[in-house]
């Protein structure tokens, strides 16, 4: 969410961002509502002030005729106040809905583009050619079945569409990936957390995981819980609860409604969590395997920092560098891309993506690459929604800047490891940094 004052003063710039990000929010309508809201709020405050004055006069000693006149005047004001209050409720609802859709103006170095096809590659690492194999490489699903590492059939039987079981050595590789990421981040000064995976609506809206002001089951790829909790006194809690799709919303909401000490900033947090996504927008795509699933594990990075664009850019670069180091540690080929305007989320100032090279995807529409993470700078778009502020050196309250980055997600790292580390005999070499977790160097067929 942007500051309405900024929108008023930079309407053309915000309109340009709306067009570049291919959004449908009407900034002129927003400004029209803003003007009405200001005018009616001022009128309401004036009427309330008038009523307060009259109420004060009624309490003072006065003759009955004068007192009756004051009471009559106050009585006439009451429905006028009520009418304005009701009007403001509706106007504020429409205003808030539009405000929730207003985008952050992207960084000047974000490339212009219409879709993901216009994202720009920045860097590559590792060998990305089928020529590195002196045999016909298998896809990860075949390898997983041959080595008894993933059970897709029983996963679907027990969990349903996109269900799966991770088994044997691949369990240790997956947990090793999570531990390697956490260990690395802790050494770099991140505070580790295991956040709740069941959270309230405000945390998801605040972090930008709703397409609008409220949850929309047709567009938001989030699981809403059907069952209701009981409060401490035993009453049924009516507030909606949701499963997180990443640790980011829970980490960002940790300080919601608080004013932080500038001396504590920047804060760097990392969270491990199980992640849940309904994938309603991907119906019919990637129906087999674990490329796109309903649940997986991930380690996420978050930064909470002062409102300083230069420092936020610096931390953004640090975040993506950590992602590159993690890919290099595991020894899987990757590329880094910068997301263009047409593919950039509403709240994002700038975004980098990491994509690992997967041999079986070379001839697919993805051209051999699978997204393994995103590093995003939101400036104060999320903190305004979550109401996270800090006091600067002058004692003034300001909204913090917030950034996030995927350290390691489990499924696509597993895919890349299996395919890039496969051998001619059908076995899979375990990456060096993960061997202390697996207790073996090579995954062989079970006898």
Contact 320, 376 (CB under 8 A): no
pLDDT tens for each residue of the chain, 447 residues long: 899 999 999 999 999 999 999 999 999 999 999 999 999 999 999 888 887 787 777 777 667 777 777 777 778 788 888 889 899 999 999 999 999 999 999 999 999 999 999 999 999 999 999 999 999 999 999 999 999 999 999 999 999 989 999 999 999 999 999 999 999 999 999 999 999 999 999 999 999 999 888 899 888 999 999 887 777 777 877 789 999 999 999 999 999 999 999 999 999 999 999 999 998 766 556 668 899 999 999 999 999 999 999 999 999 999 999 999 999 999 999 999 999 999 999 999 999 999 999 999 998 888 899 999 999 999 999 999 999 999 999 999 999 999 999 999 999 999 999 999 999 999 999 999 999 999 999 999 987
Q: Does 313 show up as a binding residue in the annotation? A: no
Q: Does 72 show up as a binding residue in the annotation? A: no
Q: Does 300 show up as a binding residue in the annotation? A: yes
pLDDT at 283: 58
Tokens of 83: 């009418």
Q: Does 81 show up as a binding residue in the annotation? A: no
* Domains 4-99 and 116-443 are alike in CATH topology: no
Q: Does 257 show up as a binding residue in the annotation? A: no
Provide the CA 368 distance to its chain's centre, in angstroms.
Answer: 26
d(CA 203, CA 193): 17
Q: Which fold is adopted by the domain 116-443? A: BirA Bifunctional Protein; domain 2 (3.30.930)
pLDDT at 266: 97
Query: Which residue in 245, 237, 236, 231 sits closest to 203, CA to CA?
Result: 245
Contact 58, 70 (CB under 8 A): yes
pLDDT at 62: 64
Q: Does 278 show up as a binding residue in the annotation? A: yes
Token pair 């079986």: residue: 360
Q: Does 319 show up as a binding residue in the annotation? A: no
Q: Does 246 show up as a binding residue in the annotation? A: yes
Q: Does 373 show up as a binding residue in the annotation? A: yes
Does domain 4-99 fall under CATH 1.10.287.40? My reply is: yes
As annotated, the active-site residues are 277, 292, 371, 374, 412
pLDDT at 24: 92
Contacts of 251 (CB under 8 A, 6+ apart): 193, 195, 269, 271, 300, 302, 404
Beta-bridged to residue 405, according to DSSP, are: 301, 375
Tokens of 381: 């778009």
Helix/strand/coil (H, E, C) string of the chain?
CCCHHHHHHCHHHHHHHHHHCCCCCCHHHHHHHHHHHHHHHHHHHHHHHHHHHHHHHHHCCCCHHHHHHHHHHHHHHHHHHHHHHHHHHHHHHHHHHHHCCCCCCCCCCCCCCCCHHHCEEEEEECCCCHHHCCCCCCCHHHHHHHCCCEEHHHHHHHHCCCCCEECHHHHHHHHHHHHHHHHHHHHCCCEEECCCCEEEHHHHHHHCCCCCCCCCCCCCCCEECCCCCECCCCCECCCCEEECCCCHHHHHHHHCCCEEEHHHCCEEEEEEEEEECCCHHHCCCCCCCCCCCCEEEEEEEEEEECCCHHHHHHHHHHHHHHHHHHHHHHCCCEEEEECCHHHCCCCCCEEEEEEEECHHHCCCCCCCEEEEEEEEECCCHHHHHHCCEEECCCCCEEECEEEEEEEEEHHHHHHHHHHHCECCCCCEECCHHHHHHHCCCEECCCC
Contact 410, 296 (CB under 8 A): yes
Beta-bridged to residue 297, according to DSSP, are: 274
d(CA 100, CA 217): 17
Q: Does 438 show up as a binding residue in the annotation? A: no
Domain boundaries, given as residue ranges, for the chain: 4-99, 116-443
What is the C-alpha end-to-end distance of the chain, expressed in Å?
Answer: 58
């Amino acid at each position: 969410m942007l500051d309405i004052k900024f929108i008023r003063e930079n309407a053309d710039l915000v309109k340009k961002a709306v067009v570049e990000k291919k959004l449908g929010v009407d900034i002129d309508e927003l400004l029209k509502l803003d003007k009405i809201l200001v005018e009616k709020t001022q009128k309401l405050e004036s009427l309330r002030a008038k009523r307060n004055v009259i109420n004060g006069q009624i309490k003072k000693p006065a003759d009955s005729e004068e007192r009756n006149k004051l009471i009559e005047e106050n009585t006439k004001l009451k429905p006028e106040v009520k009418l304005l209050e009701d009007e403001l409720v509706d106007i504020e609802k429409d205003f808030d809905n539009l405000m929730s859709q207003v985008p952050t103006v992207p960084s000047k170095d974000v490339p212009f583009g219409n879709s993901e096809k216009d994202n720009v590659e920045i860097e590559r690492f590792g060998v990305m050619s089928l020529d590195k194999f002196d045999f016909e490489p298998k896809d990860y699903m075949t390898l997983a079945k041959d080595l008894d590492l993933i059970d897709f059939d029983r996963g679907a039987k027990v969990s349903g569409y996109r269900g799966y079981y991770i088994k044997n050595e691949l369990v240790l590789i997956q947990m090793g990936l999570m531990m390697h990421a956490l260990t690395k981040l802790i050494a770099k000064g991140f505070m580790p957390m295991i956040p709740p995976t069941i959270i309230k609506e405000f945390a998801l809206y605040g972090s930008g995981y709703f397409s609008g002001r409220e949850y929309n089951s047709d567009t938001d790829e989030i699981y809403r819980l059907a069952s209701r909790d009981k409060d401490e006194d035993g009453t049924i809690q009516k507030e909606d609860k949701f499963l997180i799709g990443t640790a980011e919303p829970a980490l960002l909401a940790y300080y919601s409604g608080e004013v932080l000490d500038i001396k504590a900033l920047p804060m760097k947090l990392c969270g491990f969590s199980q992640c849940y996504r309904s994938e309603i927008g991907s119906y019919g795509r990637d129906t087999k395997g674990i490329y796109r699933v309903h649940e997986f594990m991930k380690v996420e990075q978050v930064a909470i920092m002062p409102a300083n664009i230069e420092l936020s850019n610096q931390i953004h670069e640090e975040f993506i560098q950590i992602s590159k180091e993690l890919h290099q540690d595991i020894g899987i080929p990757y590329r880094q891309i910068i997301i263009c305007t047409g593919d950039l989320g509403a709240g994002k100032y700038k975004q980098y993506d990491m994509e690992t090279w997967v041999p079986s995807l070379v001839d697919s529409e993805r051209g051999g690459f699978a997204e393994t993470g995103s590093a995003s700078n939101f400036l104060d778009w999320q903190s305004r929604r979550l109401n996270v502020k800090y006091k600067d050196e002058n004692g003034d309250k300001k909204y913090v800047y917030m950034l996030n980055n995927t350290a390691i997600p489990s499924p696509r790292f597993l895919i890349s490891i299996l395919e890039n580390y496969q051998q001619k005999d059908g076995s899979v070499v375990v990456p060096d940094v993960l061997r202390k977790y697996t207790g073996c160097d090579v995954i062989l067929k079970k006898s």
